[in-house]
Copies of this chain bind each other. A is one copy, B any other.
Amino acid sequence: MSPWKAAQPGDPLPTVDTPALLLDLDAFERNLQRMAQAMSATQVRLRPHAKSHKCPEIARRQVALGAVGICCQKVSEAAVFVDAGIDDILVTNEIVGAAKLQRLAQLATRARIGVLVDHVSQVRALASAARAAQATVDVYVEVDVGGNRCGTVSEESAVRLAQMIADTSCLRFAGLQCYHGPAQHLRSPQQRGAAIINAALTASSTRAAIESRGIPVPRVTGGGTGTFLLERDSGAFDEVQPGSYVFMDRDYADNRRSAGGIAFEHALFVRTTVMSRPSASRVVVDAGLKASSIDSGMPAVWQQPELRYIKAADEHGLLSVSAISTPALGDALMLVPGHCDPTVNLYDELVCFRGDVVEAVWPIAARGALL
Binding site for B on A (CB under 8 A): 1-4, 6, 15, 17-20, 51, 73-74, 76, 79-80, 83, 93-97, 99-100, 103, 118-119, 121-122, 144, 148-153, 181, 273-279, 282, 284, 286, 289-291, 293-295, 312-316, 318, 329-330, 341-342, 345-348, 366-371
In the assembled complex, the CB of A137 is this many whole angstroms from the nearest CB of chain B, namely 17
Chain B residue, CB-CB nearest to A51: B314
A149 touches B316 (CB 8 A): yes
Q: Cβ of A291: which chain B residues have Cβ within 8 Å of it?
A: 370
**If the complex has contacts A76-B4, A118-B276, A368-B2, are A341 and B314 also in contact, measured as CB distance less than 8 A?**
yes
Q: Which residue of B73, B144, B284 is within 8 Å of A150 (Cβ)?
A: B284
A96 touches B329 (CB 8 A): yes
Interface contacts beyond A51-B314, A119-B276: sample of 13 additional A-B pairs, CB < 8 Å, sorted by A: A1-B368, A15-B99, A18-B371, A19-B371, A94-B276, A121-B329, A122-B329, A148-B282, A149-B316, A153-B278, A181-B313, A290-B370, A347-B368
Q: Cβ of A119: which chain B residues have Cβ within 8 Å of it?
A: 276-278, 329
Q: Cβ of A95: which chain B residues have Cβ within 8 Å of it?
A: 275
For the complex, give the distance between the alpha carbons of A9 and B347 in Å: 28
For the complex, give the distance between the alpha carbons of A273 and B95 in Å: 10
For the complex, give the distance between the alpha carbons of A332 and B371 in Å: 14
A17 touches B144 (CB 8 A): no
**If the complex has contacts A119-B277, A295-B295, are A17 and B314 also in contact, measured as CB distance less than 8 A?**
no
B80 touches A3 (CB 8 A): yes
B278 touches A342 (CB 8 A): no
**Could you pull out 28 A-B pairs where Cβ atoms are within 8 angstroms?**
A1-B366, A1-B368, A2-B368, A2-B370, A2-B371, A3-B79, A3-B80, A4-B371, A17-B371, A18-B371, A20-B370, A20-B371, A51-B314, A74-B315, A93-B315, A95-B275, A96-B330, A119-B329, A148-B282, A148-B318, A149-B318, A152-B278, A153-B279, A295-B295, A346-B346, A347-B370, A348-B368, A367-B368
For the complex, give the distance between the alpha carbons of A369 and B349 in Å: 12
A3 touches B76 (CB 8 A): yes
Q: Cβ of A273: which chain B residues have Cβ within 8 Å of it?
A: 96-97
For the complex, give the distance between the alpha carbons of A51 and B276 in Å: 19
Chain B residue, CB-CB nearest to A296: B289
Q: Cβ of A152: which chain B residues have Cβ within 8 Å of it?
A: 278
In the assembled complex, the CB of A238 is this many whole angstroms from the nearest CB of chain B, namely 23
**If the complex has contacts A103-B4, A342-B289, are A295 and B312 also in contact, measured as CB distance less than 8 A?**
yes
Q: Cβ of A76: which chain B residues have Cβ within 8 Å of it?
A: 2-4
For the complex, give the distance between the alpha carbons of A273 and B153 in Å: 21
**If the complex has contacts A3-B79, A370-B2, A371-B4, are A286 and B96 also in contact, measured as CB distance less than 8 A?**
yes
For the complex, give the distance between the alpha carbons of A103 and B103 in Å: 42
Q: Cβ of A74: which chain B residues have Cβ within 8 Å of it?
A: 315
A150 touches B17 (CB 8 A): no
**If the complex has contacts A150-B316, A151-B278, A278-B144, are A99 and B289 also in contact, measured as CB distance less than 8 A?**
no
B97 touches A18 (CB 8 A): yes
B295 touches A3 (CB 8 A): no
In the assembled complex, the CB of A309 is this many whole angstroms from the nearest CB of chain B, namely 14
B348 touches A17 (CB 8 A): no
For the complex, give the distance between the alpha carbons of A163 and B290 in Å: 34
